[in-house]
Amino acid sequence: MPLISVNELAILIVEPSVFQQKVISQELADSGCQTIDCVASKAEALDFMRRYSPDLVVSAMYLPDGDGVELVTAMRTDPKLERIPFMLISSETRLASLEPIRQAGSVAILPKPFRHDDLERALKATLEFIDPEELELDDYDTQEIKVLLVDDSEFALKHIGVALEAIGIQKIVTARNGTDALTAMQADTFDLVFTDFNMPGMDGGQLTQQIRTHSNQPYVPILLVTSEQNESRLEGVMQAGVNAICSKPFSPSQLKGLIHSILSA
């Protein structure tokens, strides 16, 4: 269990509506959160974070001086803020609008109104990111596991890499597309491949097929980390030879569970 508890979290709410600030604050307080601050804009949020560094940022999508995508992008490109967990609470449902939030790495994307148990799961995921437990495997030294991480999003590469490092996996090679991934596999041997699904040129399914049929490591375990929700497309990737699928956003415990099941099989 994480050493830090919910009542120790310092949370920043970024929400232009005073009414919504009160609603979210009350739900957080009902979950045991005690340190909650509120701001109404992106500029106020960034200024606050640079001065006080909260444990979690809970943001609306639409702000008076920008949006949640711009806020999380600013966070992920600032070395002082890049590892602060981010949660979106929004009535936005368009996949194209939510995709950048998923790619940038969020602990949760909750609708308005949200269910209290979904909020509590998001808080639990936050605790896991802040104070994760290392992965333990019977047949592997976790620190010796070598992972190839493939994603065309720089933010996603960083987010997944941080999550892997947090659970004890230190040897990580990154590739921004399928072609580079195959080149990396010609030069090195990997215990596990993480790949995104939707990538330009060669998607995760095509990369999986290439690994299974034309690489020197056809049996390497492959884990698809994706925000793709089309079941027929995901079924096609499974048939191509993916061992497991992890949805974005994910928690460290989900990641650990999938890695444990794949490498212990």
| CATH (domain of 240) | 3.40.50.2300
151 contacts 176 by C-beta, under 8 angstroms? yes
Identify the helix (H) or strand (E) that includes residue 170.
Answer: none
Backbone angles phi, psi at 149, to 5 degrees: -110, 120
Question: Do 148 and 125 fall into the same domain?
Answer: no
Exposed / middle / buried, residue 145 (Cβ in 10 Å: 0-12, 13-18, 19+): buried
Give the pLDDT of residue 246: 85
Question: Do 10 and 126 fall into the same domain?
Answer: yes
What are the pLDDT digits (tens) for 133-192?
Answer: 777 776 678 888 999 999 998 888 988 888 888 888 999 999 999 999 999 999 999 999
Radius of gyration of the chain (CA): 19
Q: Single out the residue of 130, 58, 68, 56 nearest to residue 103, CA to CA.
A: 68
Question: Has residue 136 been placed in a domain?
Answer: no
Cα separation, 265 vs 249, in Å, equals 25
Q: Is the pLDDT assigned to residue 66 strictly greater than 90? A: yes
Domain count, the chain: 2
Cα separation, 82 vs 163, in Å, equals 13
pTM: predicted TM-score of the whole model, two decimal places: 0.81
Q: Which domain holds residue 170?
A: 142-263
Question: Do 229 and 206 fall into the same domain?
Answer: yes
